Amino acid sequence: MTKLSNEIVLRPRFSLKLDHSSDEIKLLFNQAKSEQVAFKISCVDDHIFIKLPKNQQHFWSPQLHLEFEEAEKNSCSIKGFFGPNPTIWTMFIFLHVGVGILFMINATWMYSNYSLGNPLDIQIWIFIVLILIWVLLYVAGTVGKKKGRPDMQELYYFMMTILPSQTALQP
């Protein structure tokens, strides 16, 4: 069985090549969906989402997204990636974009005041506050990734128990 690396990346990705058709693999996941309660499995077309059950989820809980591509008659590849809950991901992107826009507005305001020879105290303090917010967002994201790491490993190993044993990890 392949192990996940210890490196924490934003949205870890992997690829698997299987000697089974995607329909056979999806059937295995559909069977697992009805035979176990440790994970929530959602199957939509060529996509499978594996999550922890609601009662075990926390703010930083990741989900595993698998996408199937038919390679040949009896083989397929799976592209998988771990990501945060889409709501959390959207919130973080929104906050980063918001801070970036405020940063640009403040820079314009600061340049205008500088050109007019006005004091820049307020703009400098706003820059400091925005930089602190960016640092806090970075720290929160790092803490979230570390907190979600054991869940990512659980999701990965669960997926590997469902897949046929001759699965090979592709770089």
- Per-position pLDDT tens, the chain of length 171: 445 555 545 567 888 888 888 888 888 898 898 888 889 999 888 899 999 988 888 888 899 999 988 877 778 888 998 888 888 889 989 999 999 999 999 999 999 999 999 999 999 999 999 999 999 998 988 888 888 889 988 999 999 888 886 554 443
Length of the chain: 171
Judge contact between 17 and 2, C-beta under 8 A.
Answer: no
Retrieve residue 30's tokens: 């559909």
Contacts 24+ apart (CB under 8 A), 87-96: 88/59, 88/60, 88/144, 92/137, 92/141, 95/137, 96/134, 96/137
Judge contact between 104 and 122, C-beta under 8 A.
Answer: no
